[in-house]
Amino acid sequence: MIEGWVTAIETMPELSAATAALTRRRPEARTASAAVSSGLSFARFCEEEALVRSWRRLEAEASLPMQSHAFASALASTLLADAHIEVFHIRRGDEVSALLALCRASGRFARWTTVAAQQVCEPDDALYRNPQDARLLADAIVGDARAVELDRVPAGSKLIPALRAALKGKGWMSVRPATPTPTISLGSRWKDPAACFNSGRRSDFRRAARRASEFGEISFEILSPGPDEFDALFDEAVAVELRSWKREAGTAIAADRAKENCFRHYFRSACERGEFRIAFMRIDGRAVAMQMALETLGRYWLFKIGFDEEYERCSPGTLLMLHTIGWAAERELNAYELLGNLEPWIALFWTREQHDCVWVRAYPFNARGAVALASDAFASLRKRLTRA
């Protein structure tokens, strides 16, 4: 049925002319850009050690830890093991000057998506040295003639205007606000984090600490473990999360073996680079709250949190977060990044600061673009009707 519909679409005068023009231009465009742009499967890209090293050097331009080769590698071997991952990249001599890893399912009409968005719902962006390289990268992506779906891209990304320019005369693009990520801009005042809150919140912190002391002796630790210590500490943190509401909700890491393997792979690689941080609040030596985070790019990136519900009345997760915020400020980090979504409890209790993100959809003037646009329009209509 879809094939017949696509055939009908392709016979429409406007789309037919646009598709024919794009088809005529594509070989020429690829020839013109072959010296600087390329697309390789992730597996093929990783076979060339020089390319991997160049990706890692390019991470100096990153604004997110999700832009790293290590993050893509963890996803490729676990949650995205069945997906096709393509690394679109620009080379200048022996160096990669721009790249973006995108994934898709198999099939003629499958669209490209960022590797971080679909599986772990985190923001992602291209890596590039300058706007010119971002534009060359956008040309390479658009030249593949598939629809592109970018769910959470930083609003200031140079990839957005680059894609818009690359699509001119070749497709249509939609950009809308997306879920932002919460952040706390640190400074010397955050070395005493409780003092940064109003009297009501300070009272809440003191009450939680008193209740915790009723259970036993309180201690905090923030560790940067070596590879030989990693697995035992990771398993302890996962066990804490399983003793929370996340187990029944199915959102605990251990509830999904592929997700657990993904984060184990990623955090172990961060451990080897000296970036992994694992924090615990303990009562009489028992871990009652945990955090798994990265210290990189001058920031503290909070990926996973959890607490033992048996100790819920003393808010161990809150007390641990207060402690790690102060620790990050003492280390003179620039910000405390909560990642995930700007959920009500974060805005209510911790911060209203945020990094704005946008939702991007790019539809080429061809059958693939038409099918993607029709599918998205139908999904939007169905959502509105459901709300009505």
pTM for this model (two decimals): 0.85
For residue 312, what are the contacts with CB-CB under 8 A and spacing of at least 6? none
Cα 350 from Cα 336, distance rounded (Å): 11
Low-confidence ranges of the chain (pLDDT < 50): 1-35
Q: Which two tokens stand for residue 343?
A: 């959920």
For 354, how many CA atoms within 13 A lie in the half-sphere containing its CB? 18
Whether 314 contacts 215, CB under 8 Å: yes
- The predicted structure's pLDDT at residue 36: 65
- The predicted structure's pLDDT at residue 120: 80
- The predicted structure's pLDDT at residue 382: 82
- Whether 187-333 and 2-177+357-387 are alike in CATH topology: the answer is yes
Residue with tokens 């005369």: 169
Please check whether the domain covering 187-333 is classified as CATH 3.30.70.1150.
Answer: no
Q: Where are the alpha helices (DSSP H) in the chain?
A: 2-11, 13-33, 42-47, 49-58, 69-76, 115-120, 131-143, 159-167, 199-215, 227-242, 246-249, 257-272, 316-330, 344-349, 367-387
Q: Where are the domains of the chain?
A: 2-177+357-387, 187-333
Q: Which helix (H) or strand (E) holds 112?
A: strand 112-114
- The predicted structure's pLDDT at residue 344: 73
Supply the DSSP string of 135-190, one letter for each residue: HHHHHHHHHT---EEEEEEETT-THHHHHHHHHTTTEEEEEEEEEEEEEEE--GGG
Residue count of the chain, please give it.
388
- The predicted structure's pLDDT at residue 121: 83
Nearest CA among 113, 36, 47, 45 for reference residue 80: 113
Selected from 2.60.120.10, 3.40.630.30, 3.30.70.20, 3.40.50.300, the CATH number assigned to the domain covering 2-177+357-387 reads 3.40.630.30
3-state secondary structure of 192: coil
Cα 263 from Cα 269, distance rounded (Å): 10
For residue 137, what are the contacts with CB-CB under 8 A and spacing of at least 6? 37, 88, 89, 90, 98, 99, 100, 126, 128, 159, 162
Cα 72 from Cα 56, distance rounded (Å): 12
3-state secondary structure of 106: coil
- The predicted structure's pLDDT at residue 249: 67
Cα 112 from Cα 134, distance rounded (Å): 17
